[in-house]
Amino acid sequence: MSTQITTAFVEQYSANVTMLAQQMGSVLRSAVDVETIKGKNAFFDQIGSVTAQVRSSRHGSTPQLDTPHSRRRVSLADYEWADLIDDLDKVRMLIDPTSAYAKAAAAAMGRAMDDVIIAALGGSADTGVAGGTAVALPSTQKVSTASQADGSGLTIAKLRSAKFILDSNDVDPSTPRYIVVSPKQIQDLLATTEVTSSDFNTVKALATGTLDSFLGFKFLVSNRLALANTDDRLVYAFAADAIKLAIGKDVTARIDERADKSYATQVYYSMAIGATRMEEKKVVEIPCDE
């Protein structure tokens, strides 16, 4: 039984269970490539680019061009959430809290999923036949940190740099592009674009939620991005197919009686997921001073 449930007893004179401020569900799941898999590990094969050869003579030999192959590995991890609600607690409360517990559990699963995706964006990717080679995000895929000397946050110039890197890598422009930021980066943009009314109006629309795209990126706001060097928020711009989210078992919920716990009601959630970066050229890391 949750030791915190007594705060909702009728002595508190509350008719509802109120969810405290928290991220409800996953922000990033819809922005990445999702695939259902079986097994503890999954392998995703890739084919690289090849160059056509000029035909130099009539009736010449057919050229043999070796198409480059590579492979990425995803390892699944199991996640669980459970809590008990005693029948006697239900009697003492004005409402049945089971649905609120389920809502809290689902939100926790979504946040865990975002953490896995964010880790894949900036972490090492397991590469090779058996996935034994760790590939880090190269410096060429990071917006220069030289601009951090002046303590700059997210600026239009940094967004343009991220777009330039993706465009220079021949990332398919028809593939949706996203950028995941914290609320501070939206504030940064508002503060740095007031001199350019067209940019300022666009960013203002971002802040109010009436627009979610700018410079070809759809903005996703998350408070789960990591800090580097204690004050640099690592923001990521990426193409939709840059990250593979492998789901061995999607979020599953069970609400059952537990005979071994005096027939208390147990709310139980679980999932098995993993993620990997499929190609470094499709992800750009942007350090933003906070």
Q: Which pLDDT belongs to residue 9? A: 46
Same domain for 238 and 249? Answer: no
Q: Which pLDDT belongs to residue 121? A: 97
Contact 223, 23 (CB under 8 A): yes
Examine residue 54 and state whether it is found in any structural domain, yes or no.
no
Amino acid found at 127: T
Same domain for 237 and 167? Answer: yes
Q: Indicate which CATH number applies to the domain containing 283.
A: 3.30.2320
∠ CA 153-157-161 to the nearest 5 degrees? 110
Give CA–CA dist 68/205, Å, rounded.
44
Same domain for 122 and 231? Answer: no
Residue-by-residue pLDDT tens, the chain, 290 positions: 566 655 554 444 444 555 566 777 789 999 999 999 888 888 887 776 777 778 777 777 777 777 776 788 899 999 998 888 887 676 555 556 677 888 888 899 999 999 999 999 999 998 888 888 899 999 999 997 655 555 788 988 899 999 999 999 999 999 999 999 999 998 888 777 654 566 777 777 777 776 688 889 999 999 999 998 878 899 999 999 999 999 999 998 888 888 898 888 888 889 999 999 999 999 999 999 88
Examine residue 57 and state whether it is found in any structural domain, yes or no.
no
> Cβ of 50: how many Cβ atoms within 10 Å?
10
Examine residue 8 and state whether it is found in any structural domain, yes or no.
no
Q: Which pLDDT belongs to residue 128? A: 84
Same domain for 168 and 219? Answer: yes
Q: Which pLDDT belongs to residue 30? A: 92
Same domain for 249 and 117? Answer: yes
Contact 212, 219 (CB under 8 A): yes
Same domain for 263 and 283? Answer: no
Work out how many domains the chain is built from and give that number: 2
> Cβ of 235: how many Cβ atoms within 10 Å?
26
Q: Which domain holds residue 149?
A: 140-244+279-289
Give CA–CA dist 84/255, Å, rounded.
10
The residues, ordered by sequence, that sit 6+ positions from 27 with a Cβ below 8 Å of its Cβ are: 110, 114, 180, 220, 221, 222
Same domain for 196 and 217? Answer: yes
Helix (H) or strand (E) holding 168: helix 156-168
Q: Supply 117's token pair.
A: 């995706």
Same domain for 154 and 178? Answer: yes
Give CA–CA dist 239/91, Å, rounded.
51
Give CA–CA dist 122/133, Å, rounded.
16
∠ CA 55-61-65 to the nearest 5 degrees? 75
Examine residue 58 and state whether it is found in any structural domain, yes or no.
no
Examine residue 13 and state whether it is found in any structural domain, yes or no.
no
Q: Which pLDDT belongs to residue 172? A: 92
Is 253 exposed, middle or buried (CB count within 10 Å of its CB: 0-12, 13-18, 19+)?
middle
Q: Which pLDDT belongs to residue 177? A: 96
Give CA–CA dist 173/158, Å, rounded.
19
Contact 27, 109 (CB under 8 A): no
Model-wide pTM > 0.85: no
Contact 160, 107 (CB under 8 A): no
Q: Which pLDDT belongs to residue 196? A: 57
